[in-house]
Amino acid sequence: MTTATFKGKISLDIRDSKPDWTPFLAKKAPKDSPNVLVVLYDDTGLAAWEPFGGRIEMPTLKKLADRGLRFSQWHTTALCSPTRSCFLTGRNHHQNGFATISEAASGFPGYNSHIPPQCASMATVLREAGWSTFWVGKNHNIPVDEWTMGASKKRWPLAQGYDRYYGFVGGETNNWYPDLAEDNHYIDQPYLPEQGYHLSKDLADKALEFIRDSRQTEPDKPWYLWFCPGANHAPHHAPSEFIDKYRGRFDDGYEAYREWALPRMIERGIMPKGTQLTPLNPMAEGTFSPADAVRPWDTLSADEKRLFSRMAEVYAGFSEYTDSQVGRIVEYLEESGQLDNTLVIYCADNGASGEGSPNGSVNEGKFANGYPDDIEQNLMLIDKLGSPDTYNHYPTGWAAAFSTPFRMFKRYSYQGGVADPLVISWPRGMRARGQVRSQYHHCTDIVPTILDCCGVSFPKTVDGYEQVPLPGVSMRYSFDQPHAPTRKETQYYEMLGTRGIWHRGWKAVTEHGPMTDLGHFDKDRWQLFHTEVDRSEARDLTEQYPDRLKKLIALWTTEAEKYNVLPLSDLGLMGLLKMEFKPPVPESGQFVYYPGTSEVPERSAANTHGVSFKVLADIEFTPRTQGVIFAHGSRFGGHSLFVKDGKVYYSYNFLGIAPEQKLVGEAPKSGEHVVGVEFTKERSGSFQESYGPAKLYIDDKVVAQSEIRTMTGHFAITGEGLCIGRDGGDAVSSEYEPNFDFTDGKLGRVVFDVGKDAYIDVEAHLAAAIARD
């Protein structure tokens, strides 16, 4: 990136000098340069959406597909953060340090989730070339050690080349009560569900605001918008009218769906004639996690079928509702005359998600805590699925169905994890309409495609750092050449210990599931598929072509060394929890927090999971004091200390499972007091949950006590951080509504103590913590 030379004249007197604004003004994009709109969904298999042969109606996507192209062999990394890093920089996910999601990062070059400056973002390049740049929605590419307000912001969107950002930082969020960030700071949601709030609508509102503001002042300046809704990631939330539209449409079950979808995919040209279905459970026993197994539909009870069908209906409604919000953006572009010269890329970041377990879930947090779902408990909430009362996810059977005709789903290097829908529409830049393109491509090809269409080259250096070359190829050659040979030669795959390599129409894959703790990668069985003719990977050709397989395995090793792929990790949940980033614990074991501050992201807050802990709060009471002292989590998992109606409550919500665990005592009427809670872990349960006595203190007196169980994983996969003096987002306890802020009293410091010392003198503890602060 170069700076223009000053061509004016400088003399002693300004009257004898000649100004030149050229070096100081922003560079302008060439006339008639296109806008760029990238819509990136989550967790969507190739067989989910109607334009690709599925049952989920997507009117906006269909409109764009009819005006553009559908791509039948476009691929991702099999997981969200890694794929999104490819969209961000154009490099392979391990080059970006994103071998896995940011929450599961570990201290290795390919796994640390810190994008190196040698992999600068495309937005940085486009902004320098004269585009406005906006990012709306899911981020998931900020390393967890930089989520806090006191951390560096150099890997937040603004420092990654985006003029504006609005969305959520982690991998998922509650669509009714999201954890939101704007530019470089966290914010509260603008209004509540009872006032009509849903995240998809809010994100579309903000996207339109960004575009309109830019057009108002710079009408000729092109823009790039990366629009990343929460859909279709869990929790699956949508207005009831969109969910009810699909009532009964999935009652035939997921095996029937696969049989129904494949012929439609062949008819539409998404799959070649002769494509075969793969088995519902295609992997050998012992090579994958039991949590990824599919229960055959005919083995389910009538109630289970009813529940599982409803879960698919909710997912479908969520997807279509979000498409309708994207439609508002597209309609505005059409009305304002911008759509014809807007390059629209509409796609998903990985295959359908199997994280709902074989039984589905009303609270996806159970998956992250290694805790099984209970069918009877889930059935009790069947009529509330998709509402604020659930955090639901469908069972693995629907992941297999929406990934028809492939093996497996998200997290796997089989096609079920990496083959995704992609539509590209650019009426002014392509002659083709409503056609299918079958060239083999990958998410690393998106950045080269956008830059090619914009007429911009990636510079050799950015901000003084020599740049890693882009490994991808532009897909633009295929726009008006349906039979052009694939220009991509090779693409490696690795995700959570699963491995694959594609080269010139052939693909080798290991039969080794993610998160299995199997290890022994040198003993993996490799399978060989000729994907140019066997798109579903139904026929293993290992015995017929052993030499070809050996060459592909050697090629994978070469690519792995080139792109920082090693070491391989198939760690299970507990292993990941041990490896994840944890904030350093002070020698005292005490963390001190204050009211009037932003929420603290869970992975940077005092860790109360699986350990003994105590919390102390210095409070000046009045007869009218009430509100939250601290809250961490939500109704689906969390704990809260609060004052209500003259009583002090401590509530621990274990994965949203009733009954809510509560300790209650009389609140002081006036004066300064220390309120505290202590949990002593005494034993672990069958699923590593912790059991032990909890005591509620007012000063040095125990006012209530009971045995409780606490969570070993996290309160939320992402979001729902620790709040002091309030409960941001969804309320932890059913005893109060959102925005139950602390009032009519004075809340001082709140001290979390995860040290091993006993809870003896709470006032001395608090004084010591204050003295060290």
What are the pLDDT digits (tens) for 40-98?
999 999 999 999 999 999 999 999 999 999 999 999 999 999 999 999 999 999 999 99
In angstroms, rounded to a whole number, what is the distance separating the alpha carbons of residues 226 and 121?
12
* pLDDT value at residue 771: 38
Query: Ramachandran region of residue 81, left (φ > 0), alpha (ψ -120 to 50) or beta?
Result: alpha
Average pLDDT over residues 662-686: 96
Average pLDDT over residues 128-157: 95
* pLDDT value at residue 586: 77
Crossing angle of helices 80-89 and 446-454, in 10° steps, is 30
CA distances from 18 to 9, 24, 25, 204, 573 (A): 5, 15, 16, 47, 67
Higher-confidence residue: 299 or 587? 299
- Which position has the token pair 């900020």? 142
Contact between residue 530 and residue 541 where contact means Cβ atoms under 8 Å apart: yes
CA distances from 361 to 392, 688, 692 (A): 5, 19, 27
In angstroms, rounded to a whole number, what is the distance separating the alpha carbons of residues 155 and 114?
8
Name beta bridge partners: 614. 678, 753
Portion of the chain with pLDDT greater than 70, in percent: 96
Q: Is the pLDDT of residue 773 over 70?
A: no
In angstroms, rounded to a whole number, what is the distance separating the alpha carbons of residues 720 and 722?
7
Work out the mean pLDDT of the chain and round it to a whole number.
Answer: 94
In angstroms, rounded to a whole number, what is the distance separating the alpha carbons of residues 245 and 249?
9
Confidence of residue 770 (pLDDT cuts 50, 70, 90): very low
Residue type at 243 in one-letter notation: I
Q: Is the pLDDT of residue 598 over 60?
A: yes
Least confident of 192-201, 568-577, 659-668: 568-577
Contact between residue 253 and residue 301 where contact means Cβ atoms under 8 Å apart: no
* pLDDT value at residue 1: 58
HEC assignment per residue over 111-169: CCCCCCCCCCCHHHHHHHHCCEEEEEEECCCCCHHHCCCCCCCCCCHHHHCCCEEEEEC
SS3 of residue 506 by DSSP: strand
Confidence of residue 764 (pLDDT cuts 50, 70, 90): very low
Instruction: Give, as one character, the DSSP assignment of residue 626.
Output: B
Residues 6+ away with beta carbon under 8 Å from 485? 439
Q: Is the pLDDT of residue 457 over 90?
A: yes
Strand pairing category for 74-75 and 441-442: parallel
Copy the structure tokens of residue 593: 């927090």
Copy the structure tokens of residue 129: 């070339």
Query: Ramachandran region of residue 627, left (φ > 0), alpha (ψ -120 to 50) or beta?
Result: left
Contact between residue 659 and residue 622 where contact means Cβ atoms under 8 Å apart: no
Q: What is the pLDDT of residues 531-560, one digit of tens each?
A: 999 999 999 999 999 999 999 999 999 999
Name beta bridge partners: 493. 500
In angstroms, rounded to a whole number, what is the distance separating the alpha carbons of residues 469 and 324?
38
Q: Is the pLDDT of residue 161 over 90?
A: yes
Residues 6+ away with beta carbon under 8 Å from 321? 198, 200, 231, 238, 239, 242
Nearest to 392 by CA among 351, 353, 348, 350: 353
Instruction: Give, as one character, the DSSP assignment of residue 591.
Output: E
Query: Ramachandran region of residue 546, left (φ > 0), alpha (ψ -120 to 50) or beta?
Result: alpha
C-alpha dihedral over 371, 374, 375, 377, to 10 degrees? -130
Q: Is the pLDDT of residue 634 over 90?
A: yes
**Helical residues (DSSP H) of 218-343, grouped into ranges:** 240-244, 254-267, 302-335
HEC assignment per residue over 229-246: CCCCCCCCCCCHHHHHCC
Average pLDDT over residues 699-727: 91
What's the gap between Cα 630 and its chain centre? 26
Strand pairing category for 223-228 and 35-41: parallel
Q: What is the pLDDT of residues 256-295, one digit of tens each?
A: 999 999 999 999 999 999 999 999 999 999 999 999 999 9
Q: Is the pLDDT of residue 761 over 70?
A: no
In angstroms, rounded to a whole number, what is the distance separating the alpha carbons of residues 437 and 69?
7
CA distances from 548 to 524, 528, 622 (A): 17, 9, 79
Report the predicted TM-score, pTM, of the whole model to 2 decimal places: 0.94
Crossing angle of helices 122-129 and 446-454, in 10° steps, is 10
What's the gap between Cα 622 and its chain centre? 43
Q: Is the pLDDT of residue 768 over 90?
A: no
Query: Ramachandran region of residue 53, left (φ > 0), alpha (ψ -120 to 50) or beta?
Result: left
* pLDDT value at residue 368: 77
* pLDDT value at residue 2: 60
Crossing angle of helices 122-129 and 80-89, in 10° steps, is 30
Q: What are residue 339's phi and psi, to 5 degrees?
A: -65, -40
Q: What are residue 747's phi and psi, to 5 degrees?
A: -100, 120
Copy the structure tokens of residue 18: 């000649």
- Cα R_g (the chain), whole angstroms: 27
In angstroms, rounded to a whole number, what is the distance separating the alpha carbons of residues 740 and 737?
6
Q: Is the pLDDT of residue 180 over 60?
A: yes
C-alpha dihedral over 714, 717, 723, 728, to 10 degrees? -140
Q: Is the pLDDT of residue 735 over 60?
A: yes
* pLDDT value at residue 374: 85
Q: What is the pLDDT of residues 423-440, one digit of tens each?
A: 999 999 999 999 999 999
SS3 of residue 652 by DSSP: strand
In angstroms, rounded to a whole number, what is the distance separating the alpha carbons of residues 462 and 122?
11
* pLDDT value at residue 585: 74
